[in-house]
Structure 1
Amino acid sequence: MNAEHWGRRLAELADKYGVPGAAFGVLRLTDSASPQDDERIEVAHGVLSTATGVRATPDSLFQIASLTKSWTATAAAWLADSGALDLDRPIADLLPGLPLGDLTPRQLLSHTSGLEGDVYFDTGPGDDCLARYAARLGEIPRLHRPGELWSYSNAGYVLAGRVIEAVTGLVWEEAMRELLFRPLGLTRTVVSAAEAVLHRVAVGHRPGPDGLVAPVAAWRPGRFCGPGGGIACSVGDLLSFARLHLTGGLIGNGRRILGEASVEDMRTRRADLPGGRLNTAGWGTGLMVDEWEGHPVAGHNGEIAGQSALFWLCPEQGLAVALLCNAASLGAEVLADRMMREAFETFAGIAMPAAPAPPARPWRGNGAPTGLYERYGSRLEVVSGAQGPALRREGEDWELVPVDDGLFLTRPAAGSGWLPVTFLNLGGTRFLHLGGRAHRAVAT
């Protein structure tokens, strides 16, 4: 493995696409069981904050955003292995009196619970923040019946974190330390800003009015977000977590902390994503799952407070690739796409699927169902104009390009990536699926 080449490539692309700082890592297992014999690359480039100019290094901490969900799901798998948690049993047995007790942990972890996705009740900094959040979720109507549809839900992961607390008797943060951080020997993985300041840590950046990225003013929305997006770590620690999945549940000394069947279960598809052929094919338990040129892969991506992250695993080749950025921007998306494509081509001989793009020949089937579609905190309108159907969001019209019956592509701005838009009819209720979230039809 040529670390110098990848450090140089990261620098070239980060500078080209305006990403202040990034860390990139590759892990490939060898025939040896010892992690000391693994092949590894850990490189970094740029600055942790444009305000301070502190250099990014491989041991710097970045927020991993929704990659945290894979860690929370792994902790739940650990508890299922131990017999303390049944992933398919209603959580009412663990959280009596909760109005959502008919849901199962697996539905929460696979985003099929029907809970609204982005419900941000800031329930304070106390150790009871997840309990207080869970108690308030009953105030929000469910988007759909449990198991009926896949729709990405941060709220579901907060509730899953509360389930872990009920099983372990520990707050979510301490449960993660006890079940994962300490056994894996992670020394650069934290769950709070108070811990992060003891390390070399990245600050998030977002584009300003001039198009240039600038530091954000907040770390994350609140402690309640922990189970769905609260971890920060170095790229090396992220690779060590990935190694647990590549080895089927073994840690550095060869000790098993997770059953091989449980690791495989996390990569078993539990739900298909609407518009699957234009998106990740499906979802397991805490992991996106897909096949690239016939090779099973799994991973996750995420964005929070001006930082973005992703990692992908190819278990059959013992390969993990990770990228952490202190920017949430179009440039960061392009950087991630380029680095991932080049890494998988180089180390696995696998071509990642092409990004969604309009068909060469326009689809002439049914048009987009016009009307209003809503979810908590979001309102979309599908309109029909002189130029064809469009998706109206916050006063802006996004073109809808037909791909197939009920399947379209749109993009927020010229130059940005195309996003699948899927229309579904479930039991007489229409849904619009965009950005991983389902919106229910409220008017036609």
Structure 2
Amino acid sequence: MSQETQQSGTPAPPVPSREEARARLDTLKEWLDARLEPLLEENEVPGAAVAVCVGDKVIDAAAGVLSTETKVEATTDSVFQIGSVTKVWTATLAMQLVDEGVLDLDAPVRTYLPDFELADDKAAATVTTQHLMSHTAGFEGDFMTDTGLSDDCLEKFVATFGTIPQLFPPGERFSYNNAAYCLMGRLVEVLRGQPYDVCLRRYLCEPLGLTHTATGPYEALMYRAAVGHVRHEPGAPPRPAAIWATVRSNAAAGSLLAMRPRDLLAFARMHLADGVAPDGTRVLSAESARAMREPHVDLPYLGFMGDHWALGWETFDLPGGTVVGHDGGTVGQGAFLRVVPGRDVAVALQINGGDPLGLYVEIVGRVLRDLAGIELRPLPKPDPDAPRIDASRYVGTYTATAGDTVVSQDADGRIWVERRPKGVFAQLDRQAERVELLPDREGTLIAAVPEMGIHRLFTFVGDDGAGRARFLHTGRADRRADA
């Protein structure tokens, strides 16, 4: 069941004609120029840039500053990190290899990387590139091992996968997996015989004619580059993060790639045109571009996230039509990309800290409504009068490499969650926190207070054989640790 049918339906607006949508871009540009700066202030976002297109007609806008320390103003040519939106680029590089007959999505990864290992050898022998693309590989995915800055850093990183635990057999369910995309980046390197960032530039950036895109910090310095901002203490205003980016070994999953919104839209427009770049260059076959948008796995109810995952893209069944997209978050930077196939509409929103959801709802919501006749679903909100429930199925400790999550219920029947970051995640300005949870629907609890503008959902799936949830799902499936 899609999340659209799970929630009370919001009526879809009328779908404008292509000519009407193009004409509305001018009005949208005036609105962005007037409204973007106040939106930043309302949501404590230091700086942002946005670009919108209907076909080949593109508008953009920017406001705020790239750093609250330097006060350098954000412009439409400023580059922001796109974070995990990079994953769609990595999937596109892999699909180009499919077009060339070099890569078979259904063949085991070991066909191309014979030395590939996981803690579970059976899983390592059967996991395929399709599993990697759709986040169904089943192994834990949040690793940021620093293997240096040299061109062999990704090769070295993948060589450490032999200790990664398996959560479930490949193909069984969805669990967002950064490491899987790093592995796919390594596949691209091996089959191309070139480092990942060279492949990005040669097979995507250059054919797309991108002029303000950086595959790493050394290139980003050539442009007006945004700095990420984080809240160093709860309730404090966003301040520049201690680092600009994380490790190069995670570049294929989204640790480094930065660009201006217009460049990100050029990539989106290529996908809207079924593989043809804005200047007419064929970058990807029409068959592969369409295959990347076809749902491959259903997602559990996760609120802000989509309904399905395809081959790289996330898909949303919204009132009025289907939208594909991807979000990205790095150290204090964020990106939202939404694409409406068949209606030639796309929007890229990039920010450098604060609470981005307010901007997303107003800007992306207006774009989809006015230009594509599609309405966003309301963000999930808790019911403060929800009755107390027996949470024994949910109570326990759930573990992952990034941290442990403890769900408890006190003597008054109130439910609490405490997240305790571990390793590198404990060093990235993240602190342990304890939040009350309220019942939302069967199998799902919702945070009583918002975080970065959204009330997080905690969905419990599977069974441990004793009537308790096997996984706590927040996009990642964290396994139960207590016996």
Q: Secondary structure at the match of 1:316?
A: coil
Kindly report which structure 2 residues correspond to 1:261-276, keeping only aligned pairs within 5 A, or say none: 261-275=287-301
Give the AA of the match of 1:103.
Answer: V
- In structure 1, what is the equivalent of residue 454 of structure 2? 417
CA offsets 1:166-192 (integer angstroms, 9 cap, x no match): 111111001111111111111111111
Corresponding residue to 2:474 among 435, 439, 444: 435
Q: Which structure's residues are more often strand, by fraction?
A: 1
What percent identity do the matched residue pairs reach?
A: 36
* Cα root mean square deviation, aligned: 2.0
Unaligned regions of 5+ residues in structure 1, if any?
30-37
In the alignment, structure 1 residue 24 sits paired with structure 2 residue 42: no
- In structure 2, what is the equivalent of residue 258 of structure 1? 284
Q: 1:282 to 1:359 in 2, by over 3 A?
A: farther
TM-score by length of 1: 0.92
- Which deviates the most, 204-213 or 146-155? 204-213
Distance in 2 (alpha carbons) for counterparts of 1:193 and 1:97: 31
Q: How far off its partner does 1:196 sit? A: 0.7
- In structure 1, what is the equivalent of residue 351 of structure 2? 325
CA offsets 1:186-226 (integer angstroms, 9 cap, x no match): 11111110011111111111123361111112121111111
Corresponding residue to 2:238 among 203, 209, 213: 213
Distance in 2 (alpha carbons) for counterparts of 1:159 and 1:101: 14
Corresponding residue to 2:418 among 381, 389, 392: 392
Contact 1:134 1:159 in 2 (8 A): yes
Contact 2:295 2:308 in 1 (8 A): yes
Distance in 2 (alpha carbons) for counterparts of 1:212 and 1:359: 28
Kindly report which structure 2 residues correspond to 1:121-270, keeping only aligned pairs within 5 A, or say none: 121-209=145-233, 211-229=236-254, 230-270=256-296
In the alignment, structure 1 residue 105 sits paired with structure 2 residue 124: no
Q: How far off its partner does 1:401 sit? A: 1.9
Distance in 2 (alpha carbons) for counterparts of 1:414 and 1:112: 27
Give the AA of the match of 1:193.
Answer: P
TM-score by length of 2: 0.85
Contact 2:462 2:471 in 1 (8 A): no
CA offsets 1:16-59 (integer angstroms, 9 cap, x no match): 22211110110111xxxxxxxx2211111111111111111111
- In structure 2, what is the equivalent of residue 87 of structure 1? 105
Distance in 2 (alpha carbons) for counterparts of 1:309 and 1:208: 21
Q: How far off its partner does 1:418 sit? A: 1.5
Give the AA of the match of 1:254.
Answer: G
Distance in 2 (alpha carbons) for counterparts of 1:360 and 1:347: 36
CA offsets 1:362-411 (integer angstroms, 9 cap, x no match): 47876342111111131112211114222232364322222332222225
Kindly report which structure 2 residues correspond to 1:308-319, keeping only aligned pairs within 5 A, or say none: 308-319=334-345
Corresponding residue to 2:78 among 54, 60, 66: 60
Q: 1:364 to 1:51 in 2, by over 3 A?
A: closer
Q: 1:415 to 1:58 in 2, by over 3 A?
A: closer
CA offsets 1:75-129 (integer angstroms, 9 cap, x no match): 1111111111111110101111211343211111111111212111111111111
Number of aligned residues: 434
Q: Secondary structure at the match of 2:350?
A: strand
Distance in 2 (alpha carbons) for counterparts of 1:300 and 1:408: 24
CA offsets 1:210-246 (integer angstroms, 9 cap, x no match): 6111111212111111101121001110010000111
